[in-house]
Structure 1
């Protein structure tokens, strides 16, 4: 996995996958990576990078 979480989310969505914010605690965000159907979780990561928090804003997923 890339060390840049924003790039991970961009590539995941560009290849048809779905990402969802699973939790926020202080400056830390946990994001799940799901199959293109949005069904099964494939991977997840937790990050406190400010670039990721800016990218996500108030969004909770890549869906709609």
Structure 2
């Protein structure tokens, strides 16, 4: 996984896969990375990166 969580999500969705917010707090977020079908979770990570929180906004998934 990239050190830049925004870059990770962009590469993930650009490859046709799905990411979803699993848990959200005011200062952190946990993201699940899923197969292209949106089925099985492949990985997950938690981040407090302000750039990631801004990138996500209120979105819950890459499909929003």
TM-score range, shorter chain: over 0.9
Alignment partner, residue 28 of structure 1: 28
After superposition, give the CA deviation of every residue in 1:10-49 in whole Å (9 maximum; x if it has no partner): 0000001000000012301000000000000000000000
TM-score for the superposition, normalised by structure 2:
0.96
When the two structures are aligned, how many residues end up with a matched partner? 64
Structure 1 stretches of at least 4 aligned residues deviating more than 2 Å after TM superposition: none
Unaligned ranges ≥5, structure 1:
none
Unaligned ranges ≥5, structure 2:
none
Instruction: Measure the CA separation in 2 of the matches of 1:21 and 1:40.
Output: 14
TM-score for the superposition, normalised by structure 1:
0.96
